[in-house]
Structure 1
Amino acid sequence: MERRLEQHSGREALLDPDPIQGAGSRRWRGRADLPPPGHLVNLVVAHISDVHFGGRLDLPQVGVLEAFLPTLTPAVIVVSGDITLRARHGEFQAALRFMESIGRIAPTHLVPGNHDTQWWRSPLGILGTRVLHSKYRRYFGEDLTPVLELDDLVIAGMLSANGLSPGSLTWNPNDCTVKGNLPASEVRRVRQRFAGVPPHKARLAVLHHNVLPGVVSHRWGLSRPRAAQRALDTLGADIVLCGHDHTEGAGVLPGGTVVSTSGTHSVRTRGGLPSAFNLIRMTETQ
């Protein structure tokens, strides 16, 4: 049996047969939605990101999302970070209620984003790293990089939101507290976890920062993006899920790993585009 992946933007027709060209991929590799129509869909993953409970929340969008998700019968709902805007208690409380609501639809998987990180409590790690996510841990538990295992897939979280850290620094001052970084320890941990996964299970890695340049902003989410791409290609993941850029997309890393970048459900979209999320449909074919 061969696993296949199919991706469509939340605002596209779900049976759109047009291929999505993999960003930066070679011509012979290049499609991020792989199977043709008509294949049996074994597993549906809803991928949302950057909801931003707080001043930028698009509340009508969230209401529609909560009503729409059950119609898709997802096996799991992945939220790739930035569940809050300013990492405030009220925002986390509202985010927790949201996660509990969608958790009644399907199992959920969540990792923190840079907006969920209290970077000002320990810039450059001078007071340690634990305080950076103290509020997040209070509401969503100690594990910042959860692993969720279901019958047909394993989802492993990766922490790219490390505040103002040495690894996130660039020469651009505007990148401070915004850029993410992917420590080698995160890559080793997930690679080892995936190495023990049975062959019939799909492997999904989740981090917050976009690993491909935004289609509107043309900005990378990670401080050393090419090195991060090479590292992600070694994970053994079938697909990498991320967000951060507020524009949805799909692509393929140079080594062939498929990437899903989800949009936002805040009012801060890019280029006048509507809010969107990604739907990943996994099929098995002979």
Structure 2
Amino acid sequence: MQPFRFAHLSDPHLPLEPDRPKGLEWLSKRTLSYQSWQRKRRHAHTPTMLAAIVGDIRAQGVDHWVVTGDIANISLAGEFQRGAVWLHGLGAGQDVSYVPGNHDAMVHVPFADGLGLWADYMTGDGQGGVAFPYLRQRGSVAFIGANSGVPTKPLLAQGALGREQMERLGDLLADAGRRGLFRVLMVHHPVADGVVSGRKGLTDRRELRDLLSRTGAEMLLHGHAHVANLSMIKGPKGPIPSLTVPSASAIGYRHDMPGRWHLVTVDTDGPDWRVQVEVRGVERRDGPVTALGGWTLRLPAAL
């Protein structure tokens, strides 16, 4: 097969200004999050850093883009509109795959005014509209997007897939495995224990790990934690790498890592898969985007 190269970035957190809650919007979880943006997060995420990361991805000439959530900050209408412009700037819907994060689903927003504006980036092959999980085959790679973004109570940033989505996900993973595809599962919230605290975790991650132990997958991609992490999840033929990438717009404020992204190259190694992961980003906020390291994995094929 021809090597397939894709970019994984996450948590761009586009600037909130000039938006702010209005009227009854103040009587929601948005109020605390708006205050958090004013106190801390507007200093932690900058368009300059995000532009540098995106520019570096373009320079590498990847075949596909994967963005694992949190374009928005407090789910205001203007954020979804500007998010649509930003996604379009990355590429056409067929070339960019997106899954929502908790900030994209902070409160309920009518689909047409919210996630519906990003539909081209979350629609599976042959689907007439957005339905999670979705599957997109690009070469020998199956990008499978699951939605863990759900509204939660104040001070919580948890996620959940739910039983119905989990059942459909099992069918997609099993079918893609039978077809010999390299299955990339995209979920905003990390699946491994300990990557984030309980109040930020995926509440049904044990159920998802149990599903993956039966159906398998070749790689999991996450955001949310704002730090880098590589964990291994039990699969039917061996460990499944679970990669979490820091925010693409972060400057390294307090405990967050500065902006990074992953360049993933999928190739064959005899009957199995050969996967190269190159970590690219900045070592300090005013430095250039460069290669920071990486690793090579040999993964058993599903068949």
Cα 1:263–1:106 change in 2 (3 A) is farther
Counterpart of 1:209 in structure 2 is 189
Letter in 2 for 1:261: T
Specify which structure has the higher proportion of helix: 2
Q: Distance in 2 between matches of 1:134 and 1:223?
A: 27
Contact 1:221 1:244 in 2 (8 A): no
Among 227, 236, 242, the alignment partner of 2:222 is 242
Give CA-to-partner distance per residue, 1:99-145, whole Å, 9 cap, x none: 112116981101111111142x4xxxxxxxxx565533331125153
Deviation at 1:206, TM superposition (A): 1.0
Q: Which residue of 1 aligns with 2:151?
A: 163
| Aligned equivalents of 2:102, 2:111: Cα separation in 1 | 10
Equivalent position amino acid for 2:192 in 1: L
Q: Give the structure with the higher percent strand.
A: 2
Q: Aligned with 1:264: secondary structure?
A: coil
Change (3 A) 1:132 1:205: farther
Q: 1:234–1:187: structure 2 CA closer, same or farther, 3 Å change rule?
A: farther
The aligned length equals 227
How far apart, in 2, do the equivalents of 1:271 and 1:214 lie?
A: 16
The residue type paired with residue 182 of structure 2 is: A
- Native 8 Å contact 2:251 2:257 kept in 1: no
What is aligned with 1:285? Answer: 269
Partner in structure 2 of residue 114 of structure 1: 102
Q: Given residue 147 of structure 2, which amino acid in structure 1 is its aligned partner?
A: L
Distance change in 2, residues 1:135/1:257 (3 Å): farther
Which residue identity does 1:274 align to in structure 2?
P
Selected match of 1:138 from 100, 116, 127: 116
Unaligned stretches of 5+ residues in structure 1? 2-40, 122-130
Q: Is the 8 A contact 1:111 1:159 kept in 2?
A: yes
1:79 and 2:41 matched: no
Q: In 2 relative to 1, CA 214–58 (structure 1 residues): closer, same or farther, beyond 3 Å?
A: farther
Assess, with a 3 A threshold, how the Cα gap between structure 1 residues 181 and 143 changes in structure 2: closer, same or farther.
Answer: same
Question: 2:297 — aligned with what?
Answer: none
Shift of the alpha carbon at 1:182? Answer: 2.3
- Match for 2:172 among 189, 193, 204? 193
SS in 2 for 1:174: coil
Rounded Cα–Cα distance in structure 1 between residues aligned with 2:256 and 2:13 = 18
Whether the 8 Å CA contact 2:13–2:249 is kept in 1: the answer is yes
* Alignment deviations for residues 249-279 of structure 1 (CA, whole Å, 9 cap, x no partner): 2221134221111210234756252111222
The alignment's TM-score, normalised by the length of structure 2, stands at 0.66
Alignment of 1:59 onto 2:47: yes
The residue type equivalent to 2:163 in the other structure is: A
TM-score for both structures, normalised by structure 1: 0.70
Q: Which runs of 5+ in 2 are unaligned?
A: 17-41, 120-128, 271-303
Does residue 1:154 correspond to 2:136, yes or no?
no
1:126 maps to none
RMSD (Å) for aligned C-alpha atoms: 2.7
Find the counterpart in structure 1 of residue 211 from structure 2: 231
State the distance in 2 between where 1:138 and 1:272 align. 30
Give the AA of the match of 2:4.
L
Which amino acid letter does the alignment assign opposite residue 266 of structure 1? S
